[in-house]
Amino acid sequence: MGSEKKPEKFVVSIGPQHPALKEPGHFEFGVEGEIVTSATARLGFVHRGMEKGTESRTWVQNLYLMERVCGICSHVHAMAYAQGVEKLAHVEVPPRARAIRELIAELERIHSHLLWLGVAAHEGGFDTLFMLSWRDRETVMDLLESITGNRVNYSANVLGGVKIDIDEAKISAIHKGMDFLEERTRHYMKVVTEDETFLGRTRNIGSMSLDLALRLGAVGPTARASGVTYDVRVDSPYAAYADFPIKVVTDTAGDLEARFVVRIKELYESFRVIRELIDHMPASELTTRIPRRMPEGEVVSRVEAPRGELFYYLKSNGSDMPERIKVRTPSLCNWGSVLSTAVGHKLADMPMILAGIDPCFSCNDRMVLVNQDNNLSTWSWEDLRQYGIEYYK
């Protein structure tokens, strides 16, 4: 139907403003009837110049800036940055601070995964699951608020430790919250694996094989749903993950259903490790002293954000401000999987495939130059500025 007058390709463009996108991004899907034949993405609508911004702030100020890279996984950004700086300064963080960092990180993972569950259900037109999972997410939001004082940017880290402590009252509140959430999560697991209409939207949709996942460099739950056994928390433990380990959750199907299952099973792991953490919280100081000027050098700091591996590169020139900070967020690594699995599916599946990687637009918007013909060139600040003006015209 409607195909009589179109020898040229019928392109449905989604975004930058579109109800399916909670943040601006632009996607063009070439369709034939309802079948998608091509997919392209254009990002960069919310580029904020944060990496450049770090270069004119001190190491301490940057902690607060980096926490604001992402509005959902703010703690992992601050943690990755703080760990990098501590490595630069050769400072050992006390065990209790490390355990509290892990605790907040896992609570944040719960909040992030539940948020994603709701958004993904909404993209599939299952608003009841959306509303209920977000209602339950309030439990963990309230816990985070009672522990840190904030619902979104927790600001739990300082360079050299954490600034919040856990007491008996909070421990029992967390226990109660985890029990409630575990029960609800088991229910959601039943919904996403048994509800026929929902399975019709997720099973065998957006399938990505192990080979493809490895070739595209997918990370996080998206990759683990395709069978990639890679998790920074296990492969390169940081914070207290060596003492309170988690098990890697993987699946082999690689479709949207597997991504739901992997994320929900990760929630179980988070509940378990949080209970262990608060029951066996080591006693120690919360902070150590850290110098104001960092010794010259460069480090790499990696943590497992809810969406996958988060990578920080820090370079110090010996002053109280960094020379260069490079952030690579997990969403950026996963776009390839969206664009390559989209082709061949129906237009109606696009929102769910997009949401399947749990995209976070504003944290992945950065300038990327794909160097195809191997000519190395240096761009001056003026070149970059001009390029930016042209790009957004």
Partner 1 sequence: MNISLPPLVALLLFPGGLVLLISGLVYEYADRKLVARYQNRIGPRWFQPLADMIKLLAKEEVIPTGVIKGLFIFLPIVALTAILTAALYVPMFGFKPAYSFSGDLIVTVYLLSLMTLCIGLAGANTEDRFSLVGATRALTQMFSYEAPFLFALLGPAIALGTWNIGTINAAAGQNLWFIIAQPLGFLAALIGLMGKLELSPFDAPEAETEIVAGALTEYSGRGLALFRIGRDVELVIGLTLVASFFLGGLGSPLDFLWKTLILLLVTAALQSLFARLRIDQTVGLWWRWGSILILAQLILIVIGRFVGPFIPFLGRG
Cα–Cα distance list, 195 to 119, 188, 201, 350 (Å) = 17, 10, 10, 20
Contact between 121 and partner 1 by CB under 8 A: the answer reads yes
Interface residue with partner 1 among 7, 197, 377, 381 (CB under 8 A) is 197
Buried b (16+ CB within 10 A) or exposed e, 319-347: eebbeebebbbbbbbbbbbbbebbeebeb
* 303 CB-near residues (< 8 Å, 6+ apart): 76, 79, 80, 83, 105, 232, 238, 239, 309, 310
What token pair was written down for 34?
A: 């309802």
Nearest to 220 by CA among 380, 331, 377: 331
Contact between 224 and partner 1 by CB under 8 A: the answer reads no
**H or E segment at 144?**
helix 127-148
Interface residue with partner 1 among 32, 56, 71, 131 (CB under 8 A) is 131
Q: Which is nearer to partner 1, 30 or 297 (CB)?
A: 30
Contact between 344 and partner 1 by CB under 8 A: the answer reads no
Instruction: Write the DSSP assignment of 303-323 as a string of letters.
Output: EEETTEEEEEEEEE-SSSSEE
Interface residue with partner 1 among 13, 229, 236, 252 (CB under 8 A) is 13
Contact criterion met (CB below 8 Å) for 265 and 248: no
With contacts defined by CB under 8 A, name the span among 130-138, 212-220, 223-231, 242-250 that binds partner 1. 130-138
| Cα 156 from Cα 160, distance rounded (Å) | 12
Q: Which is nearer to partner 1, 24 or 291 (CB)?
A: 24
Q: Which is nearer to partner 1, 2 or 390 (CB)?
A: 2
Q: Which is nearer to partner 1, 127 or 296 (CB)?
A: 127
In angstroms, give the least distance from the CB of 363 to partner 1.
22
Contact between 372 and partner 1 by CB under 8 A: the answer reads no
Residues 30-89 that bind partner 1 (CB under 8 A): 31, 34
In angstroms, give the least distance from the CB of 263 to partner 1.
17
Contact between 299 and partner 1 by CB under 8 A: the answer reads no
With contacts defined by CB under 8 A, name the span among 126-134, 162-170, 207-215, 324-332 that binds partner 1. 126-134
Interface residue with partner 1 among 9, 11, 138, 242 (CB under 8 A) is 11
Contact between 259 and partner 1 by CB under 8 A: the answer reads no
Contact between 351 and partner 1 by CB under 8 A: the answer reads yes
Residue 237: asked if its preceding bond is cis (omega within 30°), the reply is no
Contact between 138 and partner 1 by CB under 8 A: the answer reads no
Kindly provide the residue ranges of all beta strands, DSSP E only, lying in the chain, ordered along the sequence: 10-14, 26-32, 35-42, 157-158, 161-162, 297-305, 308-316, 322-328
At 228, is the secondary structure helix, strand, or coil?
coil
| Cα 325 from Cα 308, distance rounded (Å) | 19
What token pair was written down for 301?
A: 């700091």
Contact between 375 and partner 1 by CB under 8 A: the answer reads no
At 328, is the secondary structure helix, strand, or coil?
strand
Contact between 184 and partner 1 by CB under 8 A: the answer reads no
Q: Which is nearer to partner 1, 330 or 351 (CB)?
A: 351
Interface residue with partner 1 among 40, 56, 90, 127 (CB under 8 A) is 127
- In one-letter notation, the amino acid at residue 142 is D
Residues of the shown chain interacting with partner 1 in the complex, contacts defined by CB under 8 A? 1-2, 10-13, 18-20, 31, 34, 121-129, 131-132, 135, 195, 197-198, 200-201, 346-351
